Each structure stands twice: as structure tokens, then as C-alpha cells.
Structure 1
Amino acid sequence: MKKLLNTLYVTTQGTYLARKGLTVDVRVEKKTKVRIPIHTLAGVVCFGRVAMSPALMELCGLRNVGVSFLSERGRFFGRVQGPVSGNVLLRREQYRRADDLEATLRIGRAVVTAKIANSRTVLQRGLRDHGEKIPVPPVNDALDRMGAGLARVGTLDALDAVRGIEGETSRAYFGVFDHLIVAQKDHFSFRDRNRRPPLDRVNALLSFLYTVLSHDVSSALQAVGLDPAVGFLHRDRSGRASLALDLMEELRAVMVDRLVLSLINRQQIRGKGFVVTESGAVLMDDGTRKEVLAAYQKRKQEELTHPFLDEKIPLGLLPHVQALLLSRHLRGDLDGYPPFIWK
């Protein structure tokens, strides 16, 4: 099994990243703060005004360390990646399947099945952990509606119908998401999912971590030789990583939603760690951003038993494992794509 490597998140404005031998030299105000061996890194994510030397960019390309550039608030700008790995025949098969309505339907149904099941698990664990503080009837009602959608997905014969069920169950899920927040209610409340910009602290956390997750998923897809831009559930759109969005649907609840609830309910982050701009956008301050990224890294170290592989893996390897399973399906080694369903 692939070893889980670290991701370097750089949030301090004005940081300069340079190459020093086979290490990443992190400099702030011309002083070296830390040196990180390149072989320990899977990726580098730069937020805001962070610069990188051409020599380091070359090293990252040679070592297949993806580099993503985001705005200070987490909006994706671009990505630098070394030579594409994998077999060109795999990508040709990916493109062929993406044009095959029956193939896209099968993969789309699998992805949405996992998304609904994993979102239901978040609600069920919320009831298990905080049942005495959560209004049970509306959460149970959402679980019932999502369960009904889950039962229907496998019977649908059109991708638009699958997307419709995904939308309905997502609205049911986020309709009771606020009930799972049982601490700091004066500062953290959730009415609906909003983005670009996020208009409350909970959406700010979700949007930020979804962007970070998208880096991990895109890196995993490229590492196994797949094209992140050509998806099945999400159709092609210029500038959109559609396949990365497909795999993210399975993993959002597991890797992000549950973490956001834990950070709030355990009071690991506070309401004062956010700022509201004149436009109404809610953003994390630098300290909160660092706390959230540290918690995300720690979350990725947690282990779980993968239901298809039947072996323990770190949570952070889920994007790689699912990308690998998808590539095996496209190559014909697996009859169907086995999505990740959280137990």
C-alpha cells in the first residue's frame, strides 16, 4: 500500500519557498523557518502571496509533488504538476467511457450511492454522540428521506435522474446540518449551503476544506494516470476538474463535514477567529486557518478499514485508493467501480 505523505500548507503571507539541495526551504522575511525533505511531501498548497523559486518548482515536478495556488481565502487559482504518470491507454479508456451513457450511468450511480450513505452516517453519528442535545424527529425525517433516495438510485436509468436524487438528498442533509452543531450556537449556525463567498462561519469552514480536499483528490487522480478534468457524474466544463468533483462526492462527509462539526462542537476553533468583509463574506483569520489545516492533517492520519480492500488504511489515503480502484475498473480488472461507503 502507498505510504501516506505530508502536504505542506503555506498560509503566512510573504513566504518564499526555495530549493536547498533536496529540501524545501521555507523563508519568511528572508529568514529560514523550516526545511522539509522533498521525499516526505505529496503536495504543496500555497494560500495568497506565497512565492516559489523556479528551482523548487523544477524539483517538485521531477518528484511528482503537485503544487496548488489558492487565494488567501481559499479560492483555487491554478496547479503545477510534473509529467503525467500512468498509461496513455488508461486515459483513452477514460475518455471513451465518459462518452458512453451506460458507463457514465453506472459510475454516477455508484458515486451518488456512496455520497448519500456517507452523509447519512454523519447524521447517525451525530445522533449517537449528541442525541440528548439534538432534536431527533427532524434528523430522523431527513434520514428517512435520504434512505428512500438511496433505495431509488440503483434503479434509475438516466444520469439526470441520478443527479436529481443527489440534489434532493443533499438538501435533506444540509436542511438538518445545523442541528448537529451543539456548541457555540451564538457564533456557529447554518441555514443553507452558500459559497463564493461563504456568508457564515460554517460555510467558510466547509468551502475552505472542500478546496483543500480537491487538491488531494486531483493529486491522487493524476498519480494513477487519470485526467481530473473528465468526469462521469459531473460533465465536462472548461476549467473544472469534473472527475475530482466526482470522487469528492464520496469523501466530503467523511473527510470534511464530520471534521467541521468536531472542530465546532469541541470548541477547537472560536467565533472570534473569523472576519466579515464589507461585502458580507465570512473569512477565517490566519490563526484559525492554521488550526483548521493542522486538524485536517491530523484527521488524515486516522485509520479505518476500507470495506472493499478489507484492510486498515489512513483516512488520507482514501483519495488515492478510490482513484486506483476507478483506474482498475476502467482497465477492466474490476467489473464495477466500488465506491467508498463509510461504516
Structure 2
Amino acid sequence: MAASSTLPQQNIYRKSPVGKTGVLTLTGFGIKVRMQSGHLEIEDGIGLERRKIRLARVGHGLKRLVCIGSDGFVSLAALRWLADQDAAFTMLDRNGKVLAVTGPVRPSDAKLRRAQALAHSSGVALRIARELISQKLTAQELVARRKLLDSTTADSIAQFRVELPTADSITTVRLIESQAARAYWSAWRTLPINFPRKDESRLAAHWRSFGARISPLTGSPRLACNPPNAILNYLYSLAEAEARLAASAMGLDPGLGVLHTDTTARDSLACDLMEPIRAQIDSYLIDWVTHQPLRREWFFEQRDGNCRLMGSFAARLAETAPTWGRAVAPIAEWVARAFWSTIRKPDTPLATRLTQANKREAKGTACPPLSNPPQPQNVCLGCGKAVATASTRCATCAIEVSRKRMLEVAKRGRVASKSAQSRARVAATQHRQQTAQRNWQPSSQPAWLTEEAYAKQIQPLLRNISLSQIASAIGVSILYASDIRRGRRRPHPRHWQALAELVGLPPGGAH
């Protein structure tokens, strides 16, 4: 009896689309995040270009789910699934503004929050503000000195930092920070922004340099008018979301800041925590734009001149979020300890949930160094195609560049050959060769070393000898040595014996 055929079954175990960083970014319209049969089902995209993802509870590798846009839905069951998996959910507006952030729930101590609320009256707020801005100015000084190569601006920032210990109010700290920021961003104005050659005709003039940090549309950094400022705004938004998660994980209220004023719909403490790592983000951008070009298709310009990021490009930038989260973690713990120190009788030492510093200290192990953010995509300087990390041109553009370079080198060579010095060297060489030919005696040549012996015994073996060896043995140029090896030229008989020794013929020739 023949075996009955079985119906094809759908494989529910699918390879996770989550990258090594653990970040999954959703873009487009009609975004759906819901639960189905114990799996997290995700759908995003635009038009017919839709993507469907199905994640099981085990082996997914998801740490952060970043949603760019506000068209769609996220079910409560999906949020519960993310919480159970210790994954964070971040919702960003299309201009990079943080709309919502949820993360793993941590126990909160009322004493710590009360100490945070009373920070200004206890005096710890001023100490925290000084330290945060001191770290920020120190990092900005290094960026100005090492990345922007502007020692004057770096010295100016250092001078402002010296004034911080004597600042007697939060207002004074803000004033010092604003003065340093004015000097810092002035050094960025002329930073060139490179694009592939094929994109140059579609670029506005203000896209070719960093320009001002303040947007003419808003009088603030919001609504950037060129790509580098748009990238910075988006990276800062990612850092703000990570700072909010860090504050919540430490049991702090993200909205009660010490440096930033209380503002509706802003997490002031999260903005405080990210101040020291802003320069790290700036350094990442400088390294990017100074070594690799941006692509025009990564950005689009609205009718009012606002520069926005395309969804696919924003998704790649979102992969840097874990890096900023690790950078802000020790800062959040230090701020929490500063609040905790104002409590008269704390029950237990404050837990270091983000860095596990207490456990490492007990075990005698050091904290691991911060990892670098993922490298941006390397593109061709000519056409903008993706190329290998160590390459600057694709195969097609490399051929064209090499051809132009060879033509330029040949042109320079022709010009150099007609100079007085070059002609003098040629004349001296010709005189030396003619003198050697006149002084050479045919009787000194071995009897066996005839023209026929050279053609049959020496010439065929020269193909195994390098051009530099031939040129050195008989005192000719590499070009002339190449012609000799190919048989296009036959050297003067006085050179035959040296060539015979070079190819390894015995004194009497081959028998």
C-alpha cells in the first residue's frame, strides 16, 4: 500500500530579523504589533512593500522595539509580551521626538523619589548639575581638540569648565553651559559634508556643510534643515529614550529634572542624564561624515525646508541605541546615588541594576569597557553604492578613477620628461652607454657566447627573472628590461655574459 502524501505544513520557527544589537525598528503606515498564538506578530511597511515578522518567546534576541510613526496599533498583550521578555518599546515621531517609552518594570523606593523631589532644597541638585555639565564640557573639549582640530575653541570650553566649581546656582550652571555650547557649535559650522559624486547635482548649498546648530525654521535645533543636524536630532532622541529607561530602571521619576526646567511633555531628568554623552554622539557623527559620504536617498526635504530621515536609514541609526544606553547607565546610577545620599537612614545600599557594579565590586572584577556603536554603511564616493568597509569605490567607479589617474600620471610624466633636468639625465645616460660600447672589446667575450647562444639559451630563461634583477644586472631602466625579457629588444653583446650568469648558465654554456 502506497504511503499517503502529507500536506505541506507552515514552519512556525522563523529566523529572527533582529540584528546583533537587539534593535528592531518599525517604519511606514498601518503598523501592527499584536499577539497571535503566543507569538509576537509585527507588520510594517509602505504600500505593497510590507514586512511581516513573527517572534517566539525563546531565541528572538529582541531588546528594543523602536516604532517610528503613529499610524497603527500596539495591543496590550504585545506590551505584556515585551515586558515579560525584558524588552523596551520606544515610539518616536517622524521628526525624531520621543512620544512614548516603556521598559521592564523595576521596584520603586518612595524614599528615593522623595529625595529626588526635594533635591533643590537639599542642595544635591546643584552638585548633580555641576557634575553633569563638567563631564559634558570635558567631552566637548576633547571633541573640539581631537576631532575638529580647533584648539582655540577647546581652550575656551576648558576655561568655562573651570568656572563650574564656583557656580552657586542652577541658573549659573546653565549660563556657563550655554556659553560653552555657543563656542562649541561655532567650531562645527565649516565641517564639510560629503556626498557621492552622482548626488551633487541634487544637493542644496546648505547641505554641503554642517552650518548652524540652530534651525532657521524654529530658532532651536528642532526641525533641522540639513542632513547632519537631522542625524544628530534623531540620535539625541534615541539617547533620550535610553536615558528615560535608565531613570525608570533606577526607580527615579524621569520627569523631575535638576538642570532642565519642568516642561509639559518632556522628561527633564532624562534630558539631564544624557548631557554627558552628547559629545560621544557628536564624535560618532564626526567620524562618520569625515570618513564616509552620506547618500541623498537617505533624506527627504519637506516643502518648508525641513530635512527628514528616510525610514530605512532611521532603522539603521536605531541600532546605535544600545550603545547610548550603556553609556548613560553609570550616569543614571551616580545620580540615583546622589539622591540616595540625602536620605538620613537608608535601609540598604542602592542597587546598581544597570551596570551591576556592586556585584562586580564584591567579586573583584572590573566593569567591561563600553563598546563602539555599529559602523555606518560604507558607500562608494562615486555612485553611492554600498561597498566593503575598507573600500572607497565600487568596482565600476574604481576602474574609471584608475583610468583618469593613469592619464594624469602619464601627462605629468610627459611634462617632466621635457624638463631641463630630465634631458640632462638622459644625455648623461646616453653618454655613459656610448662610452661603454666604445671601450668594450669583442675579444673579451667567451667564444661560445654568440648571437645564436643568446637567442636559444639566454633569452628563453629571462622570463623567469624579475625586471628589477635584469635592470640591476646590466644597468638599464625597468621599461628597457621589460622589452629585453619579452624579446622586443636585444641588449648589446657586452651584457650577454651578465645575463647568462643571471639565468644560471654554466661558464661554458648549456650542453
SS at match of 2:118: helix
SS at match of 1:154: helix
Contact 1:153 1:165 in 2 (8 A): yes
Deviation at 1:267, TM superposition (A): 2.2
- Quick one: higher RCO (CA 8 Å, sep 6+), 1 or 2? 1
The aligned residue for residue 17 of structure 1 is 33
CA-atom RMSD in angstroms: 2.9
Between the aligned partners of 2:121 and 2:57, the Cα distance in structure 1 is 42
Runs (5+) with no aligned partner, structure 1? 128-135, 301-314, 335-341
Letter in 2 for 1:191: G
Number of residues of Structure 1 aligned to a counterpart in Structure 2: 304
Contact 1:269 1:291 in 2 (8 A): no
Between the aligned partners of 2:266 and 2:106, the Cα distance in structure 1 is 18
Contact 1:85 1:222 in 2 (8 A): no
Letter in 2 for 1:200: N
Task: Map residues 1-343 of structure 1 onto 2, 5 A cutoff.
Answer: 6-20=22-36, 23-28=39-44, 32-35=52-55, 37=57, 40-48=61-69, 49-63=71-85, 65-80=87-102, 83=105, 85-100=107-122, 102-127=123-148, 136=149, 139-181=150-192, 183-184=194-195, 187-193=207-213, 194=215, 195-254=221-280, 256-267=281-292, 269-294=294-319, 296=320, 300=323, 316-332=325-341
Between the aligned partners of 1:98 and 1:41, the Cα distance in structure 2 is 39
Bigger radius of gyration:
2
Q: Which deviates more, 64-73 or 199-208?
A: 64-73
Runs (5+) with no aligned partner, structure 2? 1-19, 216-220, 342-348, 351-369, 371-511
* Structure 1 residues 15-64: Cα deviation after superposition (integer angstroms, max 9, x where no partner): 32223566533224786335264884443221113432221022234555
Contact 1:178 1:189 in 2 (8 A): yes
Between the aligned partners of 1:6 and 1:16, the Cα distance in structure 2 is 19
Between the aligned partners of 1:91 and 1:322, the Cα distance in structure 2 is 17
Q: Which deviates more, 188-197 or 73-82?
A: 73-82
Between the aligned partners of 1:203 and 1:37, the Cα distance in structure 2 is 38
SS at match of 1:178: coil
Please, what TM-score do these two structures have when normalized by structure 2? 0.54
Contact 1:123 1:180 in 2 (8 A): no
Pair 40,321 (structure 1): closer, same or farther in 2 beyond 3 Å: farther
Deviation at 1:116, TM superposition (A): 0.6
Deviation at 1:201, TM superposition (A): 1.3
Which 4+ runs in 1 deviate beyond 6 A?
none
Please, what TM-score do these two structures have when normalized by structure 1? 0.78
Q: Which deviates more, 177-186 or 315-324?
A: 177-186
Pair 23,213 (structure 1): closer, same or farther in 2 beyond 3 Å: farther
Higher strand share goes to which structure? 1
Deviation at 1:169, TM superposition (A): 0.6
Deviation at 1:324, TM superposition (A): 1.6
Q: Which deviates more, 38-47 or 118-127?
A: 38-47
Between the aligned partners of 2:64 and 2:32, the Cα distance in structure 1 is 16
* Structure 1 residues 215-269: Cα deviation after superposition (integer angstroms, max 9, x where no partner): 1110011011111101111122222211111111111111x21222233223263
Pair 271,120 (structure 1): closer, same or farther in 2 beyond 3 Å: farther
Deviation at 1:182, TM superposition (A): 6.3
